[in-house]
Amino acid sequence: MTRGAAGLVMLVLLARFVAGSSLTNEGAFLDGLDYLPPWPLSVLVVPLGLACWALQQRRLALVCVTTFLVLVFVEEDHSWPGRHLPTAPGAPMLKVAALNVHFYRAGRKQVANAVKSMDADVVLLSENAVRPEKVPELVALFAPLYFYAGRSEETAIVSRQPLRDVKEVELPSFQASLRRPNRLEDQPTHRHRSFLHAQLDMQGFAIHVVSIRFIAGRPRSNRLEDQLAWGRYLVKTHHEEGGFFLDYLSRLKGPVIFGGDLNAPPSSRLIRRLSEVAQDAYLATHWWGRPTFQVEFTVQRLDYLFGMNGAIPVESSRLSHVVSDHYPVWARFALTQSDEEAVVPAR
């Protein structure tokens, strides 16, 4: 019986390991299992290891625990010394924060006051649920900061300085509700999702700032088949959105800072692909990723800031402001002068 339980746990560990490796392609059977961080599997491994050890099956216990530790070592949310990029002395600095405002449920004034207190030059907002006729109210609340909004329930940017070339870029995916159940067959009838891209002029060159949130939402019901179908749809859509966004980023010249509530853990293929082209600001200055969601019981890191093309994170933190179900993240970036003028790609 112990051997059978150990075999089952080993099968789960190996499946999780394969799901997070290059052996699993997008759309494969195990695709999406990489959204499960390795550490929760300890609830299976620790009791089994103790039971095997007590029953004199010590080799079996060591095999299971070692496999689990290798999985944690390879795929858990951590960084190692020596991976940080050098910065030039006297390089200009830009402080950026990201916050999921959770539809302003804490109150628009409360959120605006929290953003003003974050000591950030630019703040990237997610779940900016505000009707067009209410945008002037938010503009007034955020003043003297500048407020730029995309379409409702998508993203926004708040800045100490005026931004230029602010534009909303459509993603290939369709908007999904976070507050109501979603029917898969209805998705193509919804409008496209989007992200907000702007440029900030600083000491003679342009910095791209992008506020983005990848798709999330609720299934049509709590039935297992609906949960699985919706989960597969979200993973597939993340791949599509991620591929589109990576292509978009590849055409930007000059420093780029992007982030927001990305609705994916660091172990997911989506975040790993972004980390291949940009530097995760929190892991650039910390050994271990700090969870940001939910504030009542914080177990997942879903909120990120990334820098690339000469935007180098030199300091970062998870802020303590509570005006949402997400904690904000903050980072200070050193900016290197680009030999090429930063330009906005054609849509």
Digit-coded pLDDT (tens) for 199-222: 999 877 789 999 999 999 999 999
Chosen CATH of 93-335 out of 3.60.10.10, 3.40.50.970, 2.60.200.30, 3.90.1150.10: 3.60.10.10
Gap between the Cα atoms of 85 and 315, Å rounded: 12
Domain ranges of the chain: 2-75, 93-335
The answer to whether 197 and 154 have CB atoms below 8 angstroms apart is: no
Element (H, E) at 65: helix 58-75
The residue type found at 39 is W
For the stretch 248-301, pLDDT in tens is 999 999 999 999 999 999 999 999 999 999 999 999 999 999 999 999 999 999
Contact between 242 and 304 under an 8 Å Cβ cutoff? The reply is: no
Categorize the per-residue pLDDT at 79 as very low, low, confident or very high, splitting at 50, 70 and 90: confident
DSSP SS3 for 116: helix
Confidence label for 159 from pLDDT (cuts 50, 70 and 90): very high
Grade residue 6 by pLDDT with cuts at 50, 70 and 90: confident
Question: Letter for the amino acid at 23?
Answer: L
State what percent of residues in the chain have pLDDT above 90: 76
How many Å apart are CA 231 and CA 5, to the nearest integer? 27
* CA neighbor of 281 nearest in space, from 330, 238, 323: 330
Q: Which helix (DSSP H) or strand (DSSP E) does residue 186 occupy? A: none
Q: Where are the alpha helices (H) located in 197-292, listed in sequence order?
A: 224-250, 269-277, 281-285
Instruction: Confirm if 85 and 312 have CB atoms less than 8 A apart.
Output: yes
Lowest model confidence (mean pLDDT) among 86-100, 160-174, 242-256: 86-100
Q: Find, among 226, 237, 242, the residue nearest to 174 by Cα.
A: 237
Q: What's the token pair of residue 114?
A: 């929290």
Predicted model pTM: 0.92
